[in-house]
Amino acid sequence: MAISQNISQATDTNFETEVLGSSTPVLVDFWAEWCGPCHRVAPVLEEVARARANRLRLGKMNVDENPATPGRFGITSIPTMLLFKDGKLVDGIVGAVPRAEIEALIDRWT
């Protein structure tokens, strides 16, 4: 389900198609409702994704509602942001990091 043009809800069910099958790099934000740092970083991620709409998609995955995918990628802390390009995990960041760090990660791969 799309939240906006390049921001969507990633789920255990649609992960293969929406993330691994995407021709555009996808930054997946693994988060939960109860996670304060997740709520602090979410608007930053959304702004960065909108600013790079021509070369990046943002997928938001609630780890409580979708436990299989976070387990598959060894997610043990949230927020965790993983960048997928051409169907492969290429990079990631753990924690509510500054915007500049998120932008540097994206710019390395897009």
**Which residues are designated catalytic?**
35, 38
- From the list 90, 97, 103, 95, the residue with the least C-alpha distance to 26 is 90
User: For residues 109 and 33, what is the distance between their CA atoms, to the nearest angstrom?
Assistant: 29
Rounded Cα distance, 48 and 1, in Å: 20
CA distance to 5, 39, 54, 100, per residue, from 80 (Å): 22, 12, 23, 16
